[in-house]
Structure 1
Amino acid sequence: MQHGRGGGWNGDQKGSARSVGIPADQATVRRSNLSLVLRHVSERGSRSRSLVAAETGLNKTTVTSLVGELVARGLIKEIGPQHAGAVGRPGLALALDGSGVGALGTEVNVDYVAAFATDVAGRVLIDRRVGFDATGGGPERSLDELARTIKEAVAELDLLGVTLAGITVAVPGLIDSATGIVEVAPNLGWYGVPVAKVLSKAGVAPNVPITVDNDANLAALAEFTAGVAAGTSDLVYLTGEVGVGGGVIAGGRLLGGADGFAGEVGHVMVDPSGERCGCGRIGCWETKVGLAALVRMVTPERAYGVGDGVVRDPEERLAEIELRQAAGDRRVDAAVIEVGRWLGRGAATLVNLFNPRVIVIGGYFARLAEQIIPVAQTELKRLGVAGSASRCTFVASDLGFGAASRGAAGMVVERVLSDPTSIDIRHVVTSRPGEER
């Protein structure tokens, strides 16, 4: 499944030439079987070779060979005898390893750059966000900052003895993921920016693939796999940033559209007499519910675009708003209610179109969820088709502003699971004589 924007969890199938020099058709079958075994252990947990063979339908000899290669690539490890009550020598249990293989997800957004790294087993190695004026800095300075962030992360992973399997960059805009070009990112002011090409010259090893994808789609995938609504086959994720992006999971798969640009919900026109949007149009949904809209209503003297030389992370802006609310500033309560109303109105359209079971709200929406959700839910029930609206609920993400970079790292892990041969063989594994493997 290949989409121009956020193609879902799919590998690019590179690296098959590393499959021990066997013919292409056999290499394809072996790569598929390596993926089957690795994914099976990843999803099912520790188990013996015999159990893996029984559950996957592969014969024991094949599983032993595949496991040997996965161990050699550092993706599976043996964790000791597994006693299952059977007569005879116990089998050695297998478990997902990948502790020496890292996945780096990064994000550049209007007012910050973020990095999130895990190993293949999902252990978090790096998690940081740095305030940065990407809109004011333009593409060149922003990519310089992103390259610096990547270099620092790679150096940290090196110190941990972790080899980087890939980098995925999240950007709020329309992305041609096949070329790594940001076609348009209105809130950043980017048009036709070759992000992958630029970053490939920033000191990253040439064998480390760099891909670019839409932030909302990556965040939706993170929510689908590890968020508050994990496993929900039909959900919509809303970013809650300066702009508003959407990722749609339908039937357990990310909805991409003909050109991969599905999910640009923030630029649906909801008020023909409203504010001008960063995309140049009037009355887009994000002009009503984006963080920029909330800041403009509460602190107009410090609104986005009003330069005072101070770079504010979104958390800092939210902290200021919360302090004003605690001090009794009535503008805050009115603004939050207004955002909730428009959030519910726009969500009603999404529910009528996609019939999700859950709408996960992220970013600043999640931070103010206790105040926003009741208002939005009431508006949704009022405007949505009765049946679908009554069964759809808003829930607040617990991934904060890091959902997109987390999803970006997850995309790299998924590529490893899909093609284990993309990871070099590190050492030769020999069987222990006489053991049930």
Structure 2
Amino acid sequence: MTQTTAAVPAGSRVDQHDLRRTNLGLVLRWLRDHGPRSRATLAAEVGMTRSTVSSLVGELSDRGLVRIGNEQRGTVGRPGLAIELDGRTVCGIGAEVNVNHVSTLALDLSGRVLAEHKLALDAHDVPVEDVLDRLAGLVRHTIADLQSQAITPVGLTVGIAGLVDRVNEVLTHGPNLDWRDVPVGQLLRTTIGNDIPIVIDNEGNLAAIAEATPGDADRQDILVIFGEIGVGGGIVAGGRLLRGRQGYAGEFGHITVQPGGRACGCGRRGCWETVCGLGALLELAADPDDPVRNPASALDDRLTELNRRADRGDERTVEALTAVGQWVGVGAAMLTNVLNPAAIVLSGYFAAVGHHMQQEIETQLAAGVLAPDAGGTRVEFSRLGFGAAVRGGALSALETVFNDPTSVGPRSAEGAVLS
């Protein structure tokens, strides 16, 4: 590489503080995306001198963001000490409001889970303020867990099912929650009673952020389809989340696949989620009084029971999964014709029972995509399941550190972060 500093356009008027901050962020992101590196390797890969990298690493270490690990071997010459992400003194918190639960998750820079809480509820039967109160209680509990470990949260990102006005922090329309024009950000700030920065986002977008693994070339052009009561998701192209003009991209569940079909919570008919959302599957698979259709029961347990029935060959369950799998494939083919992603990652409830649907999904994808071999698009299942959105929230909150490592103060002699 020929560059000698961070990627700052030639002739730009950037003062030394801004240049330093840019270079710190570049090094921190490089370690996140590519893993531990020696100073020499890091310098060669980012195009800086070794002395510059050593100085940057020293400052990042002082701020508790990197640490010196084991010797890096397998290179020519004397092995160097590997620099790796640390960040044990700071973290991001993700939170989620969904139809069946509220949850929180805290992650450090390396992706280590520091705290996690989840509460099952039926949001339809609980007033909006009470749902947000319960979420706020989980957030306060999470913050207390972190304080006991001397860890400082740098931000909270809340994912919510529906159309989100991120600028005004308002859920404008949540069809499956049956919420409209809810000032989520304002209500949470009042209830949490903490000065932690709060961002409100769509849960499907956050799930996509969690699935787009940094440094993994196969996960930089993906379509994430997140299924629960509704169906949503996110589009990642070149490693970047595509939000659309006003931030409403990813509402896949409301593409029309069956004109004049079943009524949807959005007020239209024939939406994709009416034939492949969780409600559609449960109606096909079980009678109304069956325990798997009881919204008061934990969703994980209900899906485990469906898998058990399918594994033993229960005819009704297998037929239901087959029918829904066909519809998933139909919609996936439509989206693939438009976007041609490297992979379609099925998340949420699809990840839990999708192995029973996979053959039908792939059959419909192959039949519905114009390009040969489905345009090279693979079908994958998330390993994060229902935790994708809340994990994406925590990762999103941590972006403030990667964008500006100087936002984290240096550590005191005792190891605490100085504000």
State TM-score, norm by structure 1.
Answer: 0.83
Q: Which residue of 2 aligns with 1:251?
A: 238
Contact 1:273 1:283 in 2 (8 A): yes
Is the aligned partner of 1:418 residue 2:408?
A: no
The structure-2 alpha-carbon separation of the partners of 1:86 and 1:250, relative to structure 1 and needing over 3 Å to count, comes to closer
Q: Give the secondary-structure state (helix, strand or coil) at the position aligned to 2:390.
A: helix
Q: Counterpart of 2:204?
A: 216
Q: Percent identity?
A: 43
1:48, CA displacement in angstroms?
4.3
Write out aligned runs for 1:214-363 (5 A): 214-225=202-213, 231-302=218-289, 311-325=296-310, 329-363=314-348
Q: Of residues 19, 29, 38 in structure 2, which corresponds to 1:39? A: 29
60-69 or 178-187, which deviates more: 60-69
| Pair 1:164-2:153 in alignment | yes
**Equivalent residues of 1:245, 1:266 under 8 A apart:** yes
1:290 positional shift: 0.4
Shift in CA distance, 62/272, structure 1 to aligned 2, threshold 3 Å: same
Q: Deviations over 1:326-374 (max 9, x none)?
A: 6764322221111011111111110111112211111221222222110
Do the aligned residues in 1 keep the contact of 2:206 with 2:390 (CA within 8 Å)?
yes
Contact 2:105–2:115 (Cα < 8 Å) also in 1: yes
Going from structure 1 to structure 2, the CA distance change for 1:334 and 1:55 (only over 3 Å counts) comes to closer
1:123 aligns with 2:112: yes
- For residues 111-154 of structure 1, give each alpha carbon's deviation from its aligned partner in whole angstroms, at most 9, with x where no partner exists: 01122211111111223432111222132111101100101111
User: Any conservation in 2 of the 1:111–1:312 contact (CA below 8 Å)?
Assistant: no
Q: Say whether the 8 Å CA contact 1:105–1:168 is kept in structure 2.
A: yes
The 1-side partners of 2:407 and 2:191 are apart by 22
In 1, distance between residues paired with 2:290 and 2:388? 25
Which residue of 2 is the match for residue 75 of structure 1?
A: 65
Question: How far apart in 1 are the matches of 2:284 and 2:71?
Answer: 63
Q: Note if contact 1:241-1:291 (Cα within 8 Å) is conserved in structure 2.
A: yes
Cα offsets for 1:99-120 (capped at 9, x unmatched): 1111111111000112221111
* Aligned twin of 2:163: 174
Normalised by the length of structure 2, the TM-score is 0.87
Deviations 1:400-426 (A, max 9, x none): 110111111111223211111221222
Aligned AA for 2:337? N
1:398 alignment partner AA: R
Gaps of 5+ in 2: 1-12, 415-419
Q: Give the direction of change, closer, same or farther, for the CA distance of 1:113–1:98 in structure 2 (3 Å limit).
A: same
Cα shift readout 1:51-110 (whole Å, capped 9, x = no counterpart): 4334333344443443332222111223477787758xx865432210111111111100
Displacement of 1:267 after TM fit?
0.6
5+ residue gaps, structure 1? 1-22, 430-437
**Could you say what secondary structure the match of 1:55 adopts?**
helix
Distance 1:337 1:143, change over 3 A: same
- Note closer, same or farther for the CA distance 1:141–1:302 as it changes in structure 2 (3 Å cut): farther
Contact 1:105 1:407 in 2 (8 A): yes
The correspondence of residues 82-121 of structure 1 with structure 2, limited to 5 A, is 93-121=82-110
> Could you tell me how far 1:277 is from its partner in structure 2?
0.8
1:103–1:412 Cα contact (<8 Å) kept: yes
Q: Structure 1 420/231 Cα, relative in aligned 2: closer, same or farther at 3 Å?
A: farther
What is the count of residue pairs matched by the alignment? 400
The answer to whether the 8 Å contact 1:296/1:302 transfers is: no
Aligned residue for 2:284, secondary structure, equals helix
CA RMSD of superposed structures (Å): 2.8
Mapped pair 1:55 → 2:45? yes
Find the counterpart in structure 1 of residue 128 from structure 2.
139
